[in-house]
Amino acid sequence: MRLLLIGPPGSGKGTQAVRIAEHFGVRHISSGDLLRRHVAEGTSIGRMVGDYMKRGDLVPDGIVMDVLRKPVEAASRAGGYVLDGFPRTVEQAEAAYLVAHRLGASVQVALYLEVGRDELVRRMLARGRETGRADDTEEVINHRLEVFDQMTRPMLDYYAQREKLVTVNGARPVAEVTWSVIVQLQRVRRTI
């Protein structure tokens, strides 16, 4: 199973990706987690991306592709992946397709987690209070949501036309969303 999780900030991509990966026995790869690790470790990549992430802007495509290439290739060889947070633009999706196609590791399903804006803001402000995540402030949350609408939302049409796009209502309790995702993926899996 090679799956992409698409959704606005706070929609539950990370939360669901862990559970889906465990259920299907594949690896979870999060572009945000990998980039945050570089920042925390103070690597040269971390120093390049820190300001973008603090502002809630997208990190340049070349850097993201560099960070993800090896984990995605390794996961493909090991049986598949749930990719959370990448791609985020049509350009990233096209570039990823070219690389993955050559390796026979193209995406099979794209899953969109749909959650309304008020609930997204509520979740991220709550997390900001609990964990102090640097981009969970009101101002940066608003900017991240704008970036999603402008840069990432158009990608839904891209996947609807190419791979299978499955939309799931993510504004329900965590376990209910997971159950719904698994049922839909099992149905789609029979056709891929």
Q: Which is nearer to ligand AP5, 32 or 71 (CB)?
A: 32
Cβ at position 119, least distance to ligand AP5 in Å: 8
Residue 21: exposure state from Cβ atoms within 10 A (0-12, 13-18, ≥19): buried
13 binds ligand AP5 (CB under 6 A): yes
* 144 binds ligand AP5 per the rule CB under 6 A: yes
Q: Report the alpha-carbon distance of residue 113 to residue 124 in Å, rounded.
A: 16
DSSP secondary structure code for residue 39 in this structure: H
Is residue 88 within 8 A of residue 26, CB to CB? The reply is no
Footprint of ligand AP5 on 32-61 (CB under 6 A): 32, 35, 52-53, 56-59
Q: How many CA atoms lie within 13 A of 81 on its CB side?
A: 25
Interface with ligand AP5 (CB under 6 A), residue from 1, 4, 7, 109 = 7
Residue ranges binding ligand AP5 (CB under 6 A): 7, 9-15, 31-32, 35, 52-53, 56-59, 64, 85-88, 92, 123-124, 127, 135, 144, 173-174, 177
